[in-house]
């Protein structure tokens, strides 16, 4: 980065992209869970058992990320942008 103005612009762009990513991820996870529920009772073989063993923890981790971690990281980025804006432009 050439200067802090460039850093500010890059950080704002990253924050927008990160927020869009989190929104897309939340939508995708919701859809995957809905499709999982639709087919869950239709198969009960060894492949389904392995799939369910992986899907359960994955789903739980995604719920935690979407509900708790992503908002915290977005808030952190917004706070850093605000700090940088205060530095660049004063109170």
pLDDT means over runs of 10, the chain (91 residues)? 91 98 98 93 89 95 98 98 94 65
* Residues in contact with 52: Cβ distance below 8 Å, sequence separation at least 6, in sequence order: 40
Question: Helix H segments across the chain?
Answer: 4-40, 46-64, 70-89
pLDDT value of residue 1: 62
**Cα separation of 29 and 59, whole Å?**
8
- Residue 40's nearest CA partner among 55, 26, 21 is 55
pLDDT value of residue 2: 82
pLDDT value of residue 44: 86
**Cα separation of 11 and 9, whole Å?**
5
pLDDT value of residue 90: 87
């Amino acid at each position: 980065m050439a200067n802090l103005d460039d850093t500010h612009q890059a950080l704002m762009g990253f924050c927008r992209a990160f927020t869009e990513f989190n929104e897309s991820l939340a939508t995708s996870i919701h859809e995957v869970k809905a499709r999982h529920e639709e087919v869950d009772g239709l198969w009960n073989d060894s492949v389904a058992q392995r799939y369910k063993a992986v899907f359960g923890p994955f789903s739980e981790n995604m719920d935690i990320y979407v509900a708790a971690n992503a908002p915290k990281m977005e808030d952190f980025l917004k706070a850093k942008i605000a700090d940088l804006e205060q530095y660049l432009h004063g109170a």
